[in-house]
């Protein structure tokens, strides 16, 4: 059985594992390491960070569960009444290419609309051309690129209007 549900505090360790595993494949593909990109999601996400986002920031967080195991995750940062930011959409590597990312993304759009948000924003690794094309296939438009000194990559910013 498959289900998307709100994350619970006791899910934090499993969600950290999903996020780190999913983002580690990007790190491996693009040569990121804890030494050259310590703030990259694959290395920087830990239980303390997710706990803070959940308990202090009160971010809405969602999991995709299959047969009682969390295999997908995403969170939302509420930027203002009109905009939300999708964070850390992640699917375990061995569960990819089964439409789970699409299901999570469509769930995000639905929740954004219910909140009255007019835009969903994301930040991605600009050099990850496959991921950029994937988001573009759902209507995201590239809006900016920023090169930060603390990352060995360029951050690409994209957004999508929710009135689709």
- CA contacts within 13 A on the Cβ side of 105: 17
CA atoms 84, 28, 8, 48: torsion sign: negative
Whole-number pLDDT of residue 148: 81
Which pair of tokens denotes residue 98? 């089964």
- Residue 163 in domain: no
- Residue 148 in domain: no
pLDDT tens, the chain, 164 aa long: 568 999 999 999 999 999 999 999 999 999 999 999 888 898 999 999 999 999 999 999 999 999 999 999 999 999 988 999 999 999 999 999 999 999 999 999 999 999 899 999 999 999 899 999 999 999 999 999 999 887 888 899 999 998 75
Pairwise CA distance, residues 51 & 42, whole Å: 16
Q: What is the DSSP string of 26-53?
A: HHHHHT--TTT-TTSHHHH--HHHHHHH
Whole-number pLDDT of residue 1: 55
Largest CA distance in the chain: 44
- Residue 140 in domain: no
Whole-number pLDDT of residue 151: 82
Whole-number pLDDT of residue 24: 95
- Indicate the helix (H) or strand (E) that contains 15: helix 12-30
CATH number for position 113: 3.40.630.30
Whole-number pLDDT of residue 2: 67
Whole-number pLDDT of residue 48: 96
- Residue 100 in domain: yes
Pairwise CA distance, residues 161 & 159, whole Å: 7
User: Three-class SS of residue 21?
Assistant: helix
> Please, which residues have CB within 8 angstroms of residue 128's CB and are 6 or more apart in sequence?
26, 29, 30
Specify the pTM.
0.92
- Residue 143 in domain: no
Number of domains in the chain: 1
Residue 25 belongs to what domain range? 2-121
- Residue 32 in domain: yes
- Tell me the pairing of strands 69-78 and 61-66: antiparallel
- Residue 150 in domain: no
């Amino acid at each position: 059985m498959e289900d998307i549900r709100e994350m619970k505090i006791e899910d934090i360790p499993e969600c950290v594992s999903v996020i780190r595993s999913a983002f580690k494949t990007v790190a491996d593909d693009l040569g990121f390491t804890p030494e050259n990109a310590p703030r990259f999601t694959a290395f920087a996400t830990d239980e303390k960070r997710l706990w803070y986002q959940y308990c202090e920031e009160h971010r809405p967080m969602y999991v995709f569960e299959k047969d009682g195991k969390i295999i997908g995750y995403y969170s939302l940062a509420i930027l203002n009444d009109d905009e939300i930011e999708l964070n850390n959409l992640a699917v375990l590597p061995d569960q990819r290419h089964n439409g789970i990312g699409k299901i999570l993304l469509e769930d995000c759009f639905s929740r954004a609309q219910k909140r009255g948000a007019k835009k969903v924003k994301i930040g991605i690794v600009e050099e990850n051309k496959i991921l950029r094309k994937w988001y573009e296939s759902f209507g995201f438009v590239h809006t900016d690129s920023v090169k930060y000194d603390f990352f060995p990559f360029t951050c690409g910013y994209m957004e999508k209007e929710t009135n689709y």
